[in-house]
């Protein structure tokens, strides 16, 4: 445990978040996501028993989002539905995002397999115990100047 840091952020997760730089993405997903094959050797951090909104709140307490792009966060689209459809888990996530960083809370979206391809270029994958489908997001890191 550390002072002033969310207990959900383990040493390995802090290491990843701190080591990422401007423009690097982190993948934050539900328990059914193919995390290991998408990560392909890059770090996979497990948060079994934690849902994706709890994990998002912890991560966003320290991670600055990228202000060089319009949509620093991306959600996975529902298969077979219009791309604008946002299931409950994504709506809850949107509320967490708005609370944490209201200036960068507009999300983009990607179709399932396009999401996989983009995720393969990410820095790391955080897989939660979220039991609902489509709890899958990409977060792009921003900068902090002195």
Query: What are the residue numbers of the active site?
Result: 22, 66, 116
| 105 forms part of the interface with a second copy (CB under 8 A) | no
Those residues whose C-beta lies under 8 Å from the C-beta of residue 127, and which sit 6 or more positions away, are 29, 30, 31, 33, 35, 44, 45, 46, 47
Q: Cα 124 to chain center, whole Å?
A: 10
Q: What is the dihedral of CA 72, 78, 81, 85, to 10 degrees?
A: -50
**Judged by CB under 8 A, which of 26, 52, 67, 68 binds a second copy?**
68
Q: Pick one of 28, 47, 52, 97: the residue that binds a second copy (CB under 8 A).
A: 47
**Greatest CA span in the chain, whole angstroms?**
46
* Binding residues with a second copy: total (CB under 8 A): 51
Nearest Cα residue to 83 out of 63, 56, 107, 59: 107
Give the residue with the Cβ less far from a second copy, 27 or 94: 27
Please identify, using beta-carbon distances, which residue of 123 and 137 lies nearer to a second copy: 123
Give residues in contact with a second copy (CB under 8 A).
1-5, 7-12, 14-24, 31-38, 46-50, 54, 61-64, 68, 79, 123, 129, 131-133, 143-146
């Amino acid at each position: 445990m550390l002072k002033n840091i969310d207990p959900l952020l383990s040493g390995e997760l802090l290491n990843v978040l701190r080591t990422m730089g401007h423009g690097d993405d982190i993948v934050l997903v539900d328990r059914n996501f193919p995390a290991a094959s998408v990560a392909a050797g890059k770090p996979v951090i497990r948060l079994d028993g934690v849902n994706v909104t709890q994990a998002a709140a912890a991560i966003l307490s320290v991670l600055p989002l990228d202000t060089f792009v319009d949509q620093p966060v991306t959600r996975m689209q529902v298969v077979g539905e219009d791309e604008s459809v946002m299931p409950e888990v994504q709506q809850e996530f949107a509320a967490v995002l708005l609370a944490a960083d209201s200036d960068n809370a507009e999300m983009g979206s990607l179709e399932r397999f396009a999401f996989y391809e983009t995720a393969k270029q990410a820095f790391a994958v955080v897989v939660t115990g979220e039991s609902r489908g489509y709890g899958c997001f990409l977060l792009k890191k921003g900068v902090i100047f002195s």
